Amino acid sequence: MDPRDSSQARSFVPGSQAGAGPVAFGRNVFGAIKPSGACGHSSGASGRQVRPEPAPRLSRSVRPAGHVLPPVAAALVMTLVCEPALGAPDEASSPPGSSLQLQTPPGFSVALAAGTPAIRFPMFAAFDERGRLFVAESAGGDLYDELRTQTRRCRISMLEDRDGDGRFERARVFAEQLVFPMGLAWHAGKLYVADPPDLVTLEDIDADGRADRRVVILTGFGHTDNGSLHGLTFGPDGWLYLTMGAPDGYRLRRPDGTVLEGRSGALLRCRPDGSDAEVICRGFENLVEIAFLPADEIIGTDNWFQMPDDGMRDALVHLIEGGLYPYAPDEGTPQVITGDALPALALYPAAALSGLALYRGSVFPGRMNLFSAQHNSRKVVRHQLERNHSTFRSQDQDFLWTDDPDFHPSDVLEDADGSLLVIDTGSWYVHHCPTGRIRQSPALGGIWRVRPARSPLVRDPRGAQLDWNTLSPGQLAQRLSDDRPVVRDRAADALAVLGENAVATLRALLESDGARFAKTEAIRVLARINTETARKTLRSRLQGEDADSIALAARAAGRGADTNAAPQLLALLEHSAGHVQLAAAEALAHCGNRGTVSLLADRLARDTDPFLEHALVFALHRLASVEQLHALLNHSSPRVQRAALLLLDQPPRRVLPAEAVSQRAFSEDEVLRRTAQSILRKHPDWVAQALPVLERLLAAPAPTPGELESVRSFVLAFCNDAQVAAMAARAVAADSRDELRVALLDAISGAARDPLPPIWRETMATALSSPSAAVRAQALRTINALRLEGFDDALASVAGDQDATDGLRVEALRALARGQSALDDDAFAILFRQLSRTNNALGRLTAAEISGGSRLNARQFARFVEAVDGDPMISPALVLAALPRAGLTSAAADALLNYLRNCLAAGWQFSEQQFQALETAIPSDRQTHVKVLRESSDQAAQRQREQLTALAPLLRGGDAARGQGVFAQKAGCATCHRVTGQGGVIGPDLTKIGAVRAGRDLIESMVMPSATFAQGYETYSVTLRNGDTLTGIRVRQADDSLVLRDASGAQTRIASDQATRVERQKLSLMPEGLLNALNESEIRDLLAYLQSLK
């Protein structure tokens, strides 16, 4: 889910909030529709208390909480139907009109803890030590408008459960006029809030329940897009951790005047006063929230971890200091690159993982139970982590779920009594999500409490009735063994304040047979105290049988930079547990010295996994001298040599000799070879060293796929060098293998300069006359991608070649159409044949794209319109694109108007810009017909909504196997969409679509595809300097160059100085009225198939 814009507000009762808007998940974090009030909420001018509405009652079909399920029910789920009910004034209610069905595993109950009018569109929440819940609420304004214009329409409410019944019966506005608070955390009497561009603290000085002091502790966070500041979390080390996404980034000025900056998403941390800000790891598109495990590993939720691959996009990630993750480029203050980007802990479809919580209570077995809120898939998932070498694997179980498309969990957190609170942000998020924009659903969200159905009452869960004022260190230490996590946290904070006076007591606790979790807290407190006696005590814990405790103590030593711990940490590199080795390597980066470098290198030379290898190289980066790294170039291990190459080539060193790289460019070790070639390509001044490498690659008798990719990469990297350009040209002209020549021509399409070097123009002409169909096809793709001119004779020869395939001839016509005054009849006949319904959808789309961009005479235009009339795969936009160049007689105009009437009846819609173009082209005596078309178009939206209602019953009863055939054949979906690696790439990958979209969403996407756009598949129109207009989807490029992919899949690379205007379009490339080509049974089967893709 990825908010982009919003246009329609909804009305509520007087004094209530108007609007609905977005939340940013997937790539984004939040956004919304503009509200009616000054701050978007009806809290009242005085901020008076608001009581929620009545609580929901369980339907009679639900078993009572104390009912014991029979054994057979162990595989069943409990369904809770939440219906508004009358009740006492202090009870909560579900959103107006809601009949939300939530399901859990057996043995749990769900109740609404807070609803309207107390809160609306809640996003994230945090408790204070008293159990007051602070809830950040969206105002319902457009995310981008809110951030860019600093409209300050959002608020934070404070909820209280005064009688301990699990319902928040009191609510008031704590703070308002906030930009977009996508993160908040309570610490030491202050509420820390993301208020971009600022990180602020809010305090209630006069104890009236409203913040009256705002202090900016850090500023410089980007606020133009979805990746702005969010995910505030206090770690067990007492530091504040922050998450950022791209492209907003950050620019933080340090007290000494230096700047810490970056554009890629990152995990940062700072002290509670905002000082000592630093980057922990980076490379994310949207890192949302983190949680600390018992051994202080950090796990995060990350959306757009990768481009969708077999439907997988989002991830749980194991976050490690210095780590680089794969999606966003590494930009800003130099951060070391230790090797390949780190992998995901677990991959998910576009579920839009958001809030994350580590469960610390006693309901679930084990110490590593995480719960994530998954916005798109409408559920909360339990992740049972298991150790896997130095990292983890996750066993997942749905914990709270529903098929209701208006339920969107954005946060999850554990309450002091062991219950879980789930924040449902409601249906205000409409961008890149059909829900809400079409139905304009009134779901306002709420807060739900999930607990065991027979859970015992936890008395005084926060220790409020305990004496905290006169406790000795020993008494405080005893409370570290308390079963109540919040009591333990409070005791730990108090012990940390005592400092040195608490060390002896903590040491005694560690030497006792006390509870494991108490010792965990004791180690963390000692790390915060960080005196010499505290460090000495921590060193004593770097041995024993509890591997988690050893790993925790190692990380504590690292945070304290305890150099005296180095010998023990080096010994732990040989520990039998991989996660202990990782913790030791992480700590040595701060505790080691140059004397430990050789031992780190020796450990790196042996078996590692990606995380341990990274930690060892990161430690070498921090500890090794230039001389030591040069010496490591001669180490017997290719892995160590690779590390030395990488580190010598980066700041603060940058002293890597070119010869050291070229010597390893053809190493027998594949990883070392790949790294050396990659480094070589990053130095355009090393062309003398690159030429022999490229020459050897070109001479390979049977190049492997990896070698072909290397060839392409070298040509791209050194394309400005005349010798490289000549070498590539000779290889294309020579009797080389077809796959090599195709790779070189493809490289030219990505590396070409304007103007094209003469030698490459000759290369194109040579390739067009090649006897190889593959070489000619790639030459045509390159010419079309670069919009090259001056090849008309060669192109006409290909187009007129009766022995060539129609596909090859059509691509030649694509290039010719740009330069010819008109298509001759023979050329048009080729396109007309391809438009026949007997051809596949992609062939028809290609022919329509070319026809729409060609200069057609009146007869050709009329035949073009006739051929595409009734074809559900071909957008009328392709026909209308031909209008400025078409000769439009009265007969041709009549054919066009009839065609457009048919399109409207089939469900297509037209933009205002298209109507204006139509009015310009149509003869004056037929303008009344255009007016009728306009009126019919205005009614199309209502007809589509009626169609939505009519299609809803078809969500049940279909046959998925038959639906797969409809998807691949009659509906033509596979032309544009991939499923499990098969299909087109024009539209989103649908491999896991059933997991992230409700059935009703699927119908809406097919009936009204232009109502919203999937993230990354927005349609753009680009106007060129010569007046031509290109339309397509922008293809992501590493260098941010402009590449469009049209409806047929053809790509065009546009030079930055050639585009005069780039506009995002309101109409999707996806065909409208697609379902009109199917009967009711086929639609039912197609929906069954799409819903089965999970």
Give me the long-range contacts of 393-399 (CB less than 8 A, separation at least 24): 393/345, 393/346, 394/316, 394/345, 394/346, 394/370, 396/346, 397/105, 398/105, 399/104, 399/105, 399/371, 399/450
Q: Which residues contact 916 (CB under 8 A, 6 or more apart)?
A: none
pLDDT in tens, 297-314: 999 999 999 988 888 999
Question: Taking Cα atoms as reference points, which of 275, 427, 418, 429 lies closest to residue 359?
Answer: 418
Residue 389 is which amino acid?
H
Q: Looking at residue 821, what is its pLDDT?
A: 67
Phi, psi at 300, each rounded to 5° = -135, 160
Residue 174 and residue 307 share a domain: yes
Q: Tokens for 608?
A: 């590692």
Which structural domain range is residue 638 located in?
Answer: 473-660
978 CB-contact burial (10 Å; exposed 0-12 / middle 13-18 / buried 19+): buried
pLDDT higher at 867 or 44: 867
Contact yes or no for 550/571 (Cβ under 8 A): no
What span, in angstroms and rounded, lies between the C-alpha atoms of 414 and 277? 28
Give dist(CA 908, CA 1010) in Å, integer: 10
Residues 416 and 502 in one domain: no
Whether 3 has a pLDDT exceeding 90, the answer reads: no
User: What does the pLDDT look like over 870-879, one tens digit per residue?
Assistant: 988 898 988 9
Q: Quick one: three-class SS letters along 685-731?
A: HHHHHHHHHHHHHHCCCCCCHHHHHHHHHHHHHCCCCHHHHHHHHHH
Last residue of a domain, one of 637, 660, 683: 660
Burial class (CB in 10 A: 0-12, 13-18, 19+), 758: exposed
Could you tell me how far CA 264 lies from the centroid of its own chain? 12
Residue where one domain finishes, among candidates 631, 660, 689: 660
pLDDT for the residue numbered 94 = 44
The DSSP annotation for 663-674 comes to TTTT-SSHHHHH
What is the β-pairing status of strands 154-160 and 353-358? Answer: unpaired
Q: Does 766 share its domain with 864?
A: no
CB 259 within 8 A of CB 287: no
**Residue 1059: pLDDT above 70?**
yes
Q: What is the CATH number of the domain that holds 1070?
A: 2.30.30.100
Q: Is residue 853 part of a domain?
A: yes
Cα 719 to Cα 1094: distance, rounded to the nearest angstrom:
44
Q: How far is CA 903 from CA 393, 843, 918, in A?
A: 51, 21, 14
Angle, helices 738-751 vs 705-717, to 10°: value is 30
| Mean pLDDT, residues 626-648 | 98
Same domain, 111 and 188: yes
Place of tokens 């809110």: 146
Q: pLDDT-based confidence at 331, cuts 50/70/90?
A: confident
Query: Residues 409, 492: one domain?
Result: no
CA distance 948 to 834: 33
Helix/strand/coil for 78: strand
Confidence band of 1069 (pLDDT split at 50, 70, 90): confident
Q: Between the CA of residue 836 and those of 21, 207, 806, 832, 1017, what are the distances in Å?
A: 44, 76, 13, 7, 28
Average pLDDT, the chain: 86
Q: Tell me the C-alpha to C-alpha distance, in Å, between residue 382 and each of 277, 379, 504, 968.
A: 32, 10, 39, 35
Question: Of 359-363, 468-472, 1021-1025, which gets the smallest average pLDDT?
Answer: 1021-1025
Whole-number Å distance between alpha carbons of 1091 and 379: 16
Place of tokens 């966070």: 221
pTM of the model: 0.86
Written as six digits, the tokens of 539 are 């060193």
Q: pLDDT tens, 821-837?
A: 688 899 999 999 999 98
Three-state SS for 924-944 is HHHHHHHHHHHHHHHCHHHHH
Lowest-pLDDT range of 179-183, 358-362, 864-868, 907-911: 907-911
Tell me which residue of 628, 638, 717 sits closest to 678, measured CA to CA: 717
Using one digit for the tens of pLDDT, what is the confidence trace for 575-622? 999 999 999 999 999 999 999 999 999 999 999 999 999 999 999 999
* Structural domain contains residue 545: yes
Q: CATH number of the domain that 361 lies in?
A: 2.120.10.30
Q: Determine the Cα–Cα distance for residues 463 and 471; give it in Å rounded to an integer.
A: 14
How many independent structural domains does the chain possess? 5
Q: Quick one: pLDDT at residue 1011?
A: 67
pLDDT band at 1039, cuts 50/70/90?
A: low
Residue 640: inside a domain? yes
- How do residues 227-240 score in pLDDT, each as one tens digit? 789 999 999 999 99
pLDDT tens digits, 10-20: 222 222 332 33
What residues contact residue 1079 under an 8 Å CB cut-off, 6+ apart? none
517 and 560 in a common domain: yes
Predicted pLDDT at 612: 98
pLDDT at 214: 97
SS3 for 984-1034 is CCCCCCCCCHHHHCCHHHHHHHHHCCCCCCCCCCCEEEEEECCCCEEEEEE
Residue 394 shares a structural domain with residue 491: no
Same domain for 324 and 185: yes
Assigned domain for 96 exists: yes
* 981 shares its domain with 850: no
Do both 140 and 226 map to the same domain?
yes
| pLDDT tens-digit map of 1042-1052 | 888 887 788 88
Other C-beta atoms closer than 10 Å to the C-beta of 75 total: 8
Residue 1050 lies inside a defined structural domain of this protein = yes
Do 256 and 350 lie in one domain? The reply is yes
Whether 677 is covered by a domain: the verdict is no
pLDDT in tens, 148-161: 778 888 999 999 99
Same domain, 932 and 1015: no
Q: How many helices (H) and strands (E) does the chain have?
A: 36, 36
**Percentage of the chain modeled with pLDDT above 90:** 62
